[in-house]
Structure 1
Amino acid sequence: MPVPLFDTKGPLAPLRAELLARITEVVDDGRYILGPNVDAFEREFAAYVGADHAVGVANGTDAITIALRAMGVGPGDEVVVPSFTFYASAEAIPPTGAVPVFCDVDPDTFCVTAETVKAALTPRTKAVIAVHLFGNVAPVAEIEALGVPVLEDAAQAAGSTSAGGRPGALGTAATFSFFPSKNLGCFGDGGAITARDAEVADRVRMLRFHGSWDKVTYEHVGVNSRLDELQAAVLRVQLPHLDGWADGRRAAGQHYAEAGLGELVQLPVPVEGCAPAWHLYVIRHAQADAIAAALAAAGHGQKAYYRTPVHRQPAMARWGAGTSLPVTDELAATHLAIPLNPLLTAEQAAEVTATIRRALDAGRG
């Protein structure tokens, strides 16, 4: 039986009636922008994360740009960011007037570390973007100890935990994406920014609404980036189930381990003290492309997300040229995401593992 890379429908099936009812309530109420569901979701999500403030925005990319601006990042500044990440992590920096400076990552956890960040710091560094990649949780406290503010890119880490707390409550501010395939996903685009500082949160609220509190006086050149009422209602239904889904994602990773996948490929390694709610389950092998072809032939989902790392993308050439990131280059060539969702069974994990085993055996033959 083919196993898909994602399953966005299965976990929501038991919630269908409640979701439709909440959507109907919004339609009947007639308030679609910054209404009561957005207010309530912001409070509920802040409480869940353990942050003092949460502000809904239109998507995760806007969230990064707005959060950086709220943290005081602007022209002439540099922002350290990993290159082994989704393009938006770096794409969101130039709109602030600052420039990205790319750093390497840990080969086992895929996350930035204090050491990889330190190698990229300069006197112009204004902030570091610590990406909690694939659901792992970067060591934010260790990076902050370098004396630079940290913005968490937690788009892939909703539901993860760490010894220091949940992603979203570890740095100066954090950003989330609620793209439908994320651990907590809405029915379109959506995002949020969490912060521990009231002044940062206030600037975020103004920047997401044209730089104004009242739509009369405009104190900043802002943007129009608001989480809408329908999406907030959908997210409120799902949020109480996020921890259960996170447990399911962790259980899926354990199914792969028990199926013997670690005998064939390198499995993802949690950061010390972290319990990742794996958004993607990313393995490593020198023959990753051959494994991908075998999985595709068997009808199983698979994807190499970052074959060309961000610093080598055409639009980043002016900032990435001459940058040497050996771990990033190796990970780009050898990583592969395989099927994972909160409902993945041991039988499905065993079937995917068996397909990988056959592919590698054929390569040795």
Structure 2
Amino acid sequence: MNDLSRAINEQRAALEGAWSRVLDSSYVVMGPEHAAFEAELAALVGATDAVAVASGTDALELMLRATMPGGRDVVVTAANAGGYTTTAARRGGFTVRYVDVDAQTHLVDPDALLKVLDERVGVVVVTHLYGRAADVAAVRAVCEPRGIRVVEDCAQAIGARTDEGPVGSRADAAAFSFYPTKNLGALGDGGAVTTSSEEIAARLRALRQYGWDAKYRIGVDGGRNSRLDEAQAAVLRTRMPLLSAQNEARRGIIQRYAAVGASGVRVLPAEGAGHVGHLAVVVADDRARLREHLESHLIRTDVHYPVPDHLQDAFRDEYADVSLPVTASLADRILTLPCFAEMTPDEVDRVCGALASY
């Protein structure tokens, strides 16, 4: 599905240089690499501030804590994105409510939102799933008149741009993950939140470091230790200039798959700058048969994601009355094909050939 060693080997000299800068500086946490990375990330996504943290899940949780309006306690999200927002929201002490998705895009359906909004809802999370930018403006049009904040989950879509602007700049705040398999990946965990609100940025900076408003002085309750270390910041700064070309390579791979036109298989398209090709996902009439066929050609596949959040064993009893028909139907039919920027032309040809012979 992804061979991380290829990128590491190709970038080895630059990565060693990044590590050397950290060693020479003697800073290990929140030093010059960290500060420079935050500035460069904010510029990339068109926000005024970026606040780096220890992981994408921490980014989601702290973003929800920093944006939840007073007197409200419900987070609304899609249930088809791996449970990360659910985990973060529950860890933050919030109630999670789910909205169904559009059958074609697999993204939050703005029309379905109206069925789940009430005075308890404080934040709606828009996930840019598989690398495709969602229609944030449509969600804001539904939410903002009701005093509900809209935030973006950009973990799979860094670098995506639409006519509205880059993902990460179109809502109250946006969370990013730099897990190694992401389009912009560290050599370990990492995350960040971007925002153009001074108030939200200040709250995030306090929350990521014990709730301090000055050293050893806690001014915000609910803080934690969640900091992106210098080494990972240096790695991400080294890789950021490569992002655009790698996103283009990923898009090209998915477009090759889509051009095959396999019977009973729909490849989700990845056309234009609004999609960064994070995952190559297909919808199959018979997923098990397609997966077996691909495995017979020595092609590994995966499912992103097999169990919708409201059906997870840990809390499915809470959502026994929840019905998300589109989400449930897609979970039984989606399949992910290999897609990473370092794939060789022969490997892409082999996947295309296997699809064509299905």
Verify same fold: TM over 0.5.
Answer: yes
Report the counterpart of residue 244 of structure 1 in structure 2: 245
Q: Does 1:117 align with 2:113?
A: yes
In structure 2, how many angstroms separate the alpha carbons of the residues matched to 1:91 and 1:79? 11
Map of 1:189 onto structure 2: 189
SS of 1:168's partner is coil
Superposed counterparts of 1:292-307, under 5 Å = 292-307=291-306
Say whether 1:22 aligns with 2:23.
no
Q: Which amino acid aligns with 2:201?
A: A
Shift in Å at residue 317 of structure 1?
2.1
**2:223 matched to 1:227?**
no
User: What is the number of residues matched between the two proteins?
Assistant: 353
Q: How does 1:332-347 map to 2 (within 5 A)?
A: 332-347=331-346
Letter in 1 for 2:107: C
Contact 2:270 2:277 in 1 (8 A): no
Q: Secondary structure at the match of 1:9?
A: helix
Distance 1:223 1:166 in 2: 29
- Structure 1 contact 137–276 (Cα < 8 Å) conserved: yes
Question: Could you give the per-residue CA deviations for residues 47-89 of structure 1, whole angstroms, max 9, x where no partner exists?
Answer: 0111111010000111111011111357751111100111111
Contact persistence 1:75–1:97 (CA under 8 A): no
Residue 286 of structure 1, CA deviation: 1.8
Shift of 1:263: 4.9
Alpha carbons of 1:76 and 1:317: their partners in 2 closer, same or farther (altered >3 Å)?
Answer: farther
In structure 2, distance between residues paired with 1:212 and 1:318 = 38
Give the Cα separation in 2 of the matches to 1:311 and 1:246: 32
| Equivalent residue number for residue 9 of structure 2 | 13
SS at structure 2 position matched to 1:145: helix
> Which residue pairs with 1:95 in the alignment?
91
Q: CA contact under 8 A between 1:132 and 1:154: conserved in structure 2? A: yes
Matched, 1:285 2:284: yes
* Cα distance change, pair 316–234 in 1 and its aligned pair in 2 (3 A): same
**Which has the higher mean CA deviation after the structures are superposed, 290-299 or 118-127?**
290-299
Query: Where do 1:49-64 residues align within 5 Å?
Result: 49-64=45-60
Report if aligned partners of 2:178, 2:185 keep a CA contact under 8 Å in 1. yes
How far 1:355 moved relative to its partner?
2.0
- C-alpha contact (below 8 Å) 1:26/1:32 kept by paired residues: yes
Displacement after TM superposition at 1:184 (Å) = 0.4
Counterparts of 2:283 and 2:68, CA distance in 1:
38
Give the 3-state SS of the residue equivalent to 1:106 in structure 2. coil
Name the residue aligned to 2:216: 216
Distance 2:258 2:127 in 1: 25
Aligned to 1:34, the other structure's residue is in SS state: coil
Partner of 1:158: 158
Q: What do the CA deviations read for 1:146-186 (whole angstroms, capped 9, x no partner)?
A: 12211101101112222211111111000000000000000
Cα distance in 2, alignment partners of residues 167 and 60 from structure 1: 16
Deviation of 1:108 after TM superposition, in Å, equals: 1.2
Tell me the equivalent position of 2:175: 175
The percentage of counterpart residues that share the same residue type is 35
Q: Which residue of 2 aligns with 1:266?
A: 266
Q: Which moved more, 1:172-181 or 1:303-312?
A: 303-312
Equivalent residue, structure 1, for 2:201: 201
Q: Which residue of 2 aligns with 1:363?
A: none
Aligned-partner SS, 2:4: coil
Over residues 120-164 of structure 1, what are the superposed CA-to-partner deviations in whole Å (9 max), with x where a residue is unaligned?
212211010101000011111110111221110110111222221
Give 3-state SS (helix, strand or coil) of 1:150's partner.
strand
Q: Do the aligned partners of 1:255 and 1:346 also contact (CA within 8 Å) in 2?
A: no
3-state SS of 2:182 partner: coil
Amino acid at match of 2:39: R
Listed as ranges, the gaps of 5+ residues in structure 2 are none
Contact kept, 8 Å, 2:264 with 2:285, in 1: the verdict is no
Matched, 1:139 2:135: yes
Q: How far apart, CA to CA, are the structure 1 residues paired with 2:8 and 2:247? A: 14
- Structure 1 unaligned spans of 5+: 361-365
Q: 1:319 to 1:170 in 2, by over 3 A?
A: farther
Q: 1:215 offset after TM fit, Å?
A: 2.5
* Contact 2:44/2:159 (8 A) holds in 1: no
The 2-side partners of 1:199 and 1:76 are apart by 18
SS class of match (1:137) = coil
Kindly state the Cα deviation for residue 232 of structure 1 after the two structures are TM-superposed.
0.1
SS of 2:265's equivalent?
coil
State how far apart, in whole Å, the 1-side matches of 2:270 and 2:120 are. 32
Q: How far, CA to CA, are the matches of 2:328 and 2:118 in structure 1?
A: 23
- Counterpart amino acid of residue 165 in structure 1: G
| Deviation of the 1:255 alpha carbon | 1.6
Asked if 2 retains the 8 angstrom alpha-carbon contact of 1:75 and 1:98, the reply is no
